[in-house]
Chain A
């Protein structure tokens, strides 16, 4: 078989083939990290060796209570910090070795909303996502404007472009921030507690949108969250962390076990299997009365 044939087949076969034949995009291999106040002093926090792999179009949830090492793992993946041991690779390249600009072309990070010092128009804000592609003064060309406009349309925010960031509601702001990340045209999209300031309707909307976008644009999406319910509903893979240790990696159905989750989150829970093979988690008050 000639080379173009193989290539064509790989391209067309991508959608139908099962997971195991997909390209590994993100490879976290025995990555560990330690924080300490000084070079000589004992570490104040350690993330012990963590491994998982993510493919394109996949949503990975990094799940755990506060201070479990979620943010550290996120920083390792973005490449802002280099692992003490092990490696974090995106398409075979170590993320911490990429220069800032290349990194910004491949990895988009969405943090919880940050306050704007001066009111910027939402449209201009989305255009910032084109920054890693521009030359010295980064004047936007027609293509950049087109990409930014499409990004805003993909999150259903065309009507927002003329409004300033300050006027937007929590959900609208989150959409605009997401659109800026889309304008980066990354391979990997990382979201840090994206649902924190959103009400439940906006949370579901955001995650449904992420699922759809990851399918359309072949992103790999990594979401850091402590929302058990949402992770169960939307993630293909769950990485469960506690006290800086990675306890489980697997599908929600495999990771969501009653005793394990109760121990990790230190709360009485019920886990049942939902209709689509996805687990459902119900919180139980300690007296036995159910609250969901």
Chain B
């Protein structure tokens, strides 16, 4: 028996945090304007000792005003999507569940667009609209996926995929007919993109919401382990099933909503990342949740770095990169058989 210990948890997360730091440095370095790692580290050192104004302005602007905020946003989005994917997988007992596949991301995108149309003067209303869209979608898809009182894996996924394409169609319709309104591009909402900067107020909302959401889910991680063996069994082992499900559904929808209102509907991260983490570190949710958050952050930072550099100076949407990697994994899992 090799049960999870606090020590192993901390070592793993520490190691992943270092990897995240390394990918941040790499992402700061690479781009249309290349910068050497030594310079970058020296400059970071200069900033740390309060001599930032010695740096050339143009250079400081590229690295710290353009690249760094985008990387930080990528970290938030990657962590949010991965943790919500891992949570949906446990609640729905389905390894293919993911906010994008379940249509929750598209629902959140539609929610934000509607919120923008109804009250364009409140910028802060987008996350709220996204949250309502996310929670309504997951509720709807959950009931679509039930057959004779049982949750059916295939029906659930079909329900999610169909909802996603339905919401996408509405988004395209709205974006086309309401062109001229101040709405961000169609690609942003349908595919996901990190190039749109976020206001400082929103950055605070994202950070606080992300920490609250992940914290709430993490507090139930031991319960999620048992829920995976079935709700009835979990109840007999002392899990308050209804409370746990409610907390996790709401938090996972919140995380998806935050990610979508910041970066649009980036696909497959919530599917890909928890799955890889599970292969490497096992399926204990007490480790899976923080490890997924960190690996999700790493994934988005690297994917966005590729999106910025492969066809530089033109940029690809980051969602295209994640879909390229995610779709084959989805098919592999599907072929291997649903539980």
| A152 → chain B closest CB, angstroms | 9
Contact between A109 and B238, CB atoms less than 8 A apart: no
- Given A117-B95, A117-B339, A129-B237, A136 and B1 contact (CB-CB distance below 8 Å): no
**Inside 8 A of A123's CB, which chain B residues have their CB?**
1-3
Q: Give chain A residues whose Cβ lies under 8 Å from the Cβ of B225.
A: 128
Given A116-B229, A119-B283, decide whether A131 and B95 contact each other with a Cβ distance below 8 A.
no
Residue pair B237, A132 in contact (C-beta under 8 Å): yes
Q: Once bound together, how far apart are the Cα atoms of A140 and B3, in whole Å?
A: 7
Complex alpha-carbon distance, A134 and B232, angstroms: 20
Total number of residue pairs linking A and B with CB closer than 8 Å = 84
- A118 in the interface (beta carbon within 8 A): yes
Distance (whole angstroms) from the CB of A230 to the closest CB of chain B: 23
Interchain nearest-CB distance for B281 vs A (Å): 12
| The residue from A108, A125, A149, A161 contacting B236, defined by CB atoms under 8 A apart | A108
In whole angstroms, what is the CA distance A207 to B226 when docked?
27
CB-nearest residue of chain A relative to B218? Answer: A137
Chain B 69-109, CB-CB to A under 8 Å as 1, else 0, gives 00000000000000000000000011100000000000000
Chain B binder among A7-15, A97-105, A255-263: A97-105
Distance between Cα atoms of A134 and B339 in the complex (Å)? 29
Complex interface bits, B315-336 against A, C-beta within 8 A gives 1, otherwise 0? 0000000000000000000000
Contact indicator B226/A78 (Cβ below 8 Å): no
Answer yes or no: A59 CB below 8 A from chain B CBs.
no
Most interface-central of B1, B225, B232, B278 (chain A CB within 10 A): B1
Residue B154 lies at the interface, judged by CB distance under 8 Å to chain A: no
* A92 at interface, CB cutoff 8 A: no
> Which residue of chain A is the closest to B7 with respect to CB atoms?
A139
- B3 near A127 (CB under 8 angstroms)? yes
Residue in A119, A128, A149, A184 whose beta carbon sits within 8 Å of that of B226 in the complex: A128
- B273-295 vs A, CB cutoff 8 Å, 1 = contact: the mask equals 00000100001101000000000
A115 adjacent to chain B (CB < 8 Å): yes
Contact of B238 among A78, A105, A117, A124 (CB under 8 A): A105
- Contact of A184 with B237 at beta-carbon distance under 8 Å, contacts A131-B222, A134-B222 already known: yes
CA–CA, A101 and B244, complex, Å:
14
A-side contacts of B240, CB under 8 Å: 100
Q: Nearest chain B CB to A246's CB is how many angstroms away?
A: 24
- Tally of chain A residues near chain B (CB < 8 A): 40
Q: Does A247 contact B (CB under 8 A)?
A: no
Residues in A neighbouring B339, C-beta threshold 8 A: 115-117
Set of chain B residues within 8 Å of A197, measured between Cβ atoms: none
Residues of A within 8 A of B286 (CB): 137-139
A116 to B222, CA, bound (A): 16
B5 at interface, CB cutoff 8 A: yes
A285 at the interface (CB under 8 A from B): no
Q: B221 an interface residue at 8 Å Cβ cutoff?
A: yes
Task: Flag A1-32 by CB within 8 Å of B: 1 or 0 each.
Answer: 00000000000000000000000000000000
What is the CA–CA distance of A74 and B297 in the complex, to the nearest angstrom?
47
Is A111 on the interface with B (CB-CB < 8 A)?
yes
Are A137 and B237 in contact (CB-based, < 8 A)? no
Interface centre among A115, A123, A129, A137 (most CB of B within 10 A): A137
Q: What is the CB-to-nearest-CB distance from A160 to chain B, in angstroms, rounded to a whole number?
A: 11
A14 to B243, CA, bound (A): 42
Across the interface, do A100 and B235 meet the contact criterion of CB distance under 8 Å? yes
Cα distance A126–B5 in the bound complex, in angstroms: 16
Find B237's partner among A114, A131, A139 (CB 8 Å cutoff). A131
Let me know if A145 is at the binding interface, CB within 8 A.
yes
Are the CB atoms of B229 and A114 closer together than 8 Å?
yes
A-B contact pairs, 28 of them (CB 8 A): A100-B239, A100-B240, A101-B238, A105-B238, A107-B236, A108-B236, A109-B233, A116-B228, A117-B228, A118-B228, A118-B283, A119-B283, A121-B2, A123-B2, A123-B3, A124-B3, A128-B225, A128-B237, A129-B237, A131-B237, A131-B238, A131-B239, A132-B237, A136-B222, A138-B222, A139-B3, A139-B6, A145-B3
- Give me the interface of B with A, judged by CB distance under 8 Å: 1-6, 93-95, 219, 221-222, 225-226, 228-230, 232-233, 235-240, 278, 283-284, 286, 339
20 additional contacts, CB 8 Å, given A104-B236, A107-B236, A128-B237? Answer: A100-B238, A100-B239, A104-B238, A111-B233, A114-B233, A116-B228, A117-B94, A118-B283, A123-B2, A123-B3, A124-B1, A125-B229, A128-B225, A131-B238, A134-B222, A138-B286, A139-B4, A139-B6, A145-B3, A149-B1
